[in-house]
Amino acid sequence: MTTIRIIDTEEARAAIPDLCEVLADCIHGGASVGFMLPFAPKDGETYWQEIAGAVEKGGIILAVAEVEGKVVGTVQVGLASKPNQPHRGDLMKLLVHRSARGLGLSRRLMDVVEAEAARRGRTLLVLDTATGSDAEKIYPRFGWERVGVIPDYAMWPEGGFCGTTLFYKRVG
């Protein structure tokens, strides 16, 4: 059975081994998501501990997709903390393990996290994603508006610069 849900701090901490595997698999698949190769699942532990800490402080909404209780996908919305942006969130780290792609999990993850962001008053969401990636192609299918490209913004996991494409969406 597949479940998509928002998780709390304790659930996030318990899910760290699975989240590490998902992150490492995506990086090995060529996704530019903040990290470089070589990258082993354990290299993501500090990052996911920080995310669990941010969930505890109320700064991040974390959603997961589980198949038979194992996390195979995730996405998050960081809640902008500036006093003049109480309505904004940053959509980040939409990740689906390669073994679970093409099943509609990313669409369901986006639906759930966007709805929760809207419920918390975050009606304007923004994201950036590697130009030329599969993810860049799918955000318009989810109703996101493409803003433009910043060249040479980051690097691919194996090296070499990649641009980033900016998107936004009004939700709620």
Ligand X SMILES: CC(C)(COP(=O)(O)OP(=O)(O)OC[C@H]1O[C@@H](n2cnc3c(N)ncnc32)[C@H](O)[C@@H]1OP(=O)(O)O)[C@@H](O)C(=O)NCCC(=O)NCCS
CB nearer ligand X, residue 6 or residue 9: 6
Site for ligand X in 36-75 (CB under 6 A): none
Size of site (CB under 6 A) for ligand X: 21
CB nearer ligand X, residue 57 or residue 98: 98
Work out which of 7, 80, 135, 162 binds ligand X, going by CB under 6 A: 135
Q: In terms of Cα–Cα distance, which of 95, 90, 82 is closest to 30?
A: 95
Task: Say if residues 135 and 129 touch (Cβ distance below 8 Å).
Answer: yes
Q: Establish if 146 lies at the interface with ligand X (CB under 6 A).
A: no
Q: In terms of Cα–Cα distance, which of 57, 64, 66, 113 is closest to 90?
A: 113
Instruction: Measure the CA–CA gap between 117 and 69, rounded to whole angstroms.
Output: 24
Work out which of 2, 9, 123, 133 binds ligand X, going by CB under 6 A: 133
Site for ligand X in 93-132 (CB under 6 A): 94-96, 101-107, 129
Instruction: Measure the CA–CA gap between 113 and 15, rounded to whole angstroms.
Output: 17
Task: Say if residues 162 and 36 touch (Cβ distance below 8 Å).
Answer: no
Determine the interface stretch with ligand X among 25-33, 118-126, 145-153, 162-170 (rule: CB under 6 A). 25-33
**CB 82, min distance to ligand X, A:** 22
Task: Say if residues 107 and 91 touch (Cβ distance below 8 Å).
Answer: no
Residue 145's identity, in one-letter code, is E
CB nearer ligand X, residue 50 or residue 134: 134
Torsion of CA 99, 101, 103, 106, to 10 degrees: 130
**CB 138, min distance to ligand X, A:** 4
In the complex, the residues that contact ligand X under the rule CB under 6 A are 26, 29, 31, 33, 94-96, 101-107, 129, 133-135, 137-138, 141
